[in-house]
Amino acid sequence: ERGRERRKHESVSLCPLNTGAATEQDMLCIFGTGDLGRSLGQRLLQTGYRVVYGSRRPQSCGLLPPGTQVHHEAAAQSARLVFICIHRENYDFLETLATQLKGKVLVDVSNNLKKNLYPEANAEYLQRLIPGAQVVKGFNTLSAWALQNGPSDANRQVYLCGNSAEAKQAVADVATKLGFTVLDRGSLSAARELEDFPLQLFPEWRLPMQLTIGLTAFFFIYVVIRDVIYAYVKDNKDISFRIMVSLANKVFPTVSLVMLSLCYLPGVIAAFLQLYRGTKYKRFPDWLDRWMLCRKQLGLVALALASLHVLYTLIIPIRYYVRYRLAANTISQIRENKTSPFDTTMAWRTDSYYSMGALGFGLYLLLGITSLPSVSNMLSWREFSFIQSKLGYLTLFVCTFHTYLYGWDMFLRPSYYKWYTLPNYMLSLVVPSAVLVLKLLLLLPCVDRTLTRIRQGWERSDPEHESKKSLLTSGYHTTDTNAL
């Protein structure tokens, strides 16, 4: 009886242990009490996990919850998944914990200060130190700020790589529960690529900034030659002071209009390429893919240049110039004792020019605001597409029309073709005018109908394939008839 009572008591007392064993998977271990380790642990605690920190000096960090810091050996034994939030230079002590870390999933979140700092990736080095563990590279593209404030549009993705599918799935479950999107990059050999991601400085802005710098330098030199150097050579006048404001105010709107048109030119090229191929199931060229992926950055740079154009226009004393001209005209009229009729054509042109400029800049701002993640997330795909596409082309048209009104009849005056060169405003109209003309061709009913069908999945068969198919079909029917 005493034996049966003892066995019954032992079976009842095992229930809490089984419950604890079942929840052992919710216990996660973090090596390192730095900014990233503390932020990751705080986020895990908020999500419902139990966290223990492995430290050389337990209770040395007063920013952590009491009782969560233990020695590395005890922390490694308490959880199956361990986040290694320490620098590679401090990995050596992990080799002494090879027994405790055997069979564990080690998540390496480290990065380097520069590329190719070590001959092998940090995750591969960690796997070599502890061969009995399953190393997964992940969470290294997230910052401590992102972990504290939760995932946002700029950093929702968590890249993973590792040799064990089960280990990667365990880490992916944690990342998904934290609200991140997981992207599997394959085996641990991709760790070097993942570690280089945080070292890239504005990778999506390189092409837009290169275009901006190149176009700005070209138009600036072009305007200086036509205005400053030409006036000095022909008339012996020094107007170099205009470089700071007046000439800059010619360059900024020119580059802005060209950059805006470059946002919509790749879409037009892609549409004609689909019409030519008769299908949407073929990849675009690499240069077109890269161009289309940086359209948002091109538009934001164009908006920045347009804003500078507005500010420089306010700085230039237009009213003073107008008053000076009016005063000069009044003095000349008094001297000549005559009056000239009011030029309504010039008044219409001036008012239309300024109104188109104000309207175009307003549409510019609308496009820029809707491209912000906090605003675009509140829009449906149809609403976002309508603003960025329909209103985008309207913005391009208004800004182009604004430039045409600025030029007016200047192209008829030989004095504006200094050294037989075109004015800069005429050069800025080449690309946007071509984009608008090509877009009008795509809006023709016959072209638009075909393009819509292609984008819905319809494919135009190859004529040569169809002719061969018809020959084979006719030959089959002939043979079949003879056989009958």
Which range is least confidently modeled, 190-194, 313-317, 338-342? 338-342
User: Given this model, what pLDDT does residue 266 score?
Assistant: 95
Asked if pLDDT for residue 22 goes beyond 80, the answer is: no
Q: Other CB atoms closer than 10 Å to residue 74's CB: what's the count?
A: 13
Residue 459, SS3? coil
- HSE-CB at 45 with a 13 A cutoff on CA atoms is 14
Instruction: Record the pTM.
Output: 0.69
DSSP state of 154: G
Q: Which of 167, 154, 157 is nearest to 123 (CA)?
A: 167
Q: Which residues are paired to 137 by β-bridges?
A: 108, 161
Q: Which of 74, 106, 71 is nearest to 91 (CA)?
A: 106
Residue-wise pLDDT for 80-122, tens only, equals 999 999 999 999 889 999 999 999 999 999 998 888 889 999 9
Asked if pLDDT for residue 7 goes beyond 60, the answer is: no
259 with 211: CB under 8 angstroms?
yes
Whole-angstrom Cα distance, residue 86 to residue 97? 15
Q: Which of 312, 315, 262 is nearest to 292 (CA)?
A: 262
174 with 119: CB under 8 angstroms?
no
Whole-angstrom Cα distance, residue 331 to residue 186? 81
- HSE-CB at 26 with a 13 A cutoff on CA atoms is 11
302 with 367: CB under 8 angstroms?
no
Asked if pLDDT for residue 17 goes beyond 70, the answer is: no
Q: How confident is the model at residue 353 (pLDDT cuts 50, 70, 90)?
A: confident
**What are the residues whose beta carbons fall under 8 Å from the beta carbon of 243, sequence distance 6 or more?**
224, 228
- Mean pLDDT (the chain, rounded): 83
More confident residue, 255 or 244: 255
Question: Which domains does the chain show, CATH number per domain?
Answer: 27-199 (3.40.50.720), 203-308+348-464 (no CATH)
Which range is least confidently modeled, 35-39, 201-205, 270-274? 201-205
Whole-angstrom Cα distance, residue 221 to residue 1? 104
Tell me whether residue 240 is exposed, middle or buried, using C-beta atoms within 10 angstroms of its C-beta: 0 to 12, 13 to 18, 19 or more. middle
Whole-angstrom Cα distance, residue 264 to residue 392? 8
Strand 81-84 and strand 27-31: pairing? parallel
Q: Which of 212, 213, 255, 221 is nearest to 432 (CA)?
A: 255
- Most confidently modeled range among 13-17, 365-369, 395-399: 395-399
Whole-angstrom Cα distance, residue 428 to residue 407? 11
**What are the residues whose beta carbons fall under 8 Å from the beta carbon of 295, sequence distance 6 or more?**
263, 264, 266, 267
Q: How confident is the model at residue 341 (pLDDT cuts 50, 70, 90)?
A: low
Whole-angstrom Cα distance, residue 299 to residue 438? 20
Asked if pLDDT for residue 480 goes beyond 70, the answer is: no
